[in-house]
Structure 1
Amino acid sequence: MSESLDQGRAMPRRRTVVAAAGAVGAAGLTASLAACGSDEPSSDTPSANGSGAALKVSDVPVGGGKILKDEKVVVTQPAAGEFKAFSAVCTHQGCVVSSVSDGTINCACHGSRFSVEDGSVKNGPATKPLPSSPVSVDGQELKLG
């Protein structure tokens, strides 16, 4: 018997309800996975074709850096005239880094520190370096991407 009666109404069996709920959940998971596989850039990843942000050479101090929070990029100048760019998303738990000082890119969330020279971990809990991002000098402006 596939149905039971409750005050004269047909009631679906528990197995039918559970199977239907599983099908709805699987459809949602499939849609989510399809979105993960898209070619669109993630909002956590710096744009590969440039951010459009205007950044001047003079905005980035020697031995320090400048965080572009909207673009999620940090640009550093380890030595005069040498510019580097890295993802500003901490590799520990995804916070955007908060400052650049004393030769390190600093994350206030859990205390991770990264080198302004190569993005390597100088102090954990992060265990992976900040991914590098392209940067070039065009006159007195820096171009990302």
Structure 2
Amino acid sequence: MTQEAPTRRVVVPGLIVTAAGAAAGYVVASGSSAADPKPPAAEANAVGTAAGGGDTATPLANLADIPANGGLVLEDASMVLTRDGGNGVKAFTSVCTHQGCNVSSVEGGKIICPCHGSKFDAQTGAPVAGPAGEPLAPIPVTVRDDAVFRG
């Protein structure tokens, strides 16, 4: 069975529909803010860079709120704070590097993502189980006067 070449009756309407769709897409996209330049700290997950800004004068949490050898997920700040056995605190983005779900808890030295079972080392942010292959981005924090601050 041989295939016939498309006729003008088939090709021309297809080209017209394609051109109309492209024009409509251009009009919609040109009115959208999605393509506007973003500040340098913006990332796809809206958390910002690992060193990202934030209020350095307002405490993120009190040291007593973070269990020793455990952690605390700060949903409003999109970060997870982890604490060693003493007063050492580390912070990481709470957005899982697998598919962008938010981690839910810190248990047994691991930061847990409930979506697909990824687990990250609570002291380094490195993936230790599950499908995530990239570490959680670190966020600099300091401990002053028994409180944790960004920066």
Letter in 2 for 1:92: H
| Aligned positions, number | 132
- Contact between 2:59 and 2:147, CA under 8 Å: does it hold in 1? no
For residue 26 of structure 1, report the CA deviation from its aligned partner. Answer: 3.4
Q: Of 44, 47, 57, which residue of structure 2 is paired with 1:45? A: 47
Structure 2 counterpart of 1:10: none
Structure 2 counterpart of 1:87: 93
Letter in 2 for 1:101: E
Distance 1:131 1:54, change over 3 A: closer
Task: Trace 1:43-122 onto structure 2 (pairs within 5 A).
Answer: 44-45=46-47, 48-50=53-55, 52=58, 54-122=60-128
RMSD between superposed Cα atoms in Å: 2.4
Structure 2: give runs of 5+ residues left out of the alignment: 1-11
Q: Distance in 2 between matches of 1:118 and 1:110?
A: 20
Q: Distance in 2 between matches of 1:136 and 1:53?
A: 10
Letter in 2 for 1:102: G
Q: Distance in 2 between matches of 1:109 and 1:89?
A: 11
Structure 1: give runs of 5+ residues left out of the alignment: 1-12
Instruction: Show CA shifts across 1:17-75 (max 9, x none).
Output: 4313212213444646523x311735631552238564101111111000001211000
| TM-score, structure 1 as length reference | 0.78
SS of equivalent residue, structure 1 residue 84: strand
22-31 vs 80-89, which moves further: 22-31
Higher fraction of strand: 1
Structure 2 counterpart of 1:34: 35
46-55 vs 67-76, which moves further: 46-55
| TM-score, structure 2 as length reference | 0.75
- Contact between 1:44 and 1:72, CA under 8 Å: does it hold in 2? no
Letter in 2 for 1:41: A
For residue 140 of structure 1, report the CA deviation from its aligned partner. Answer: 1.6
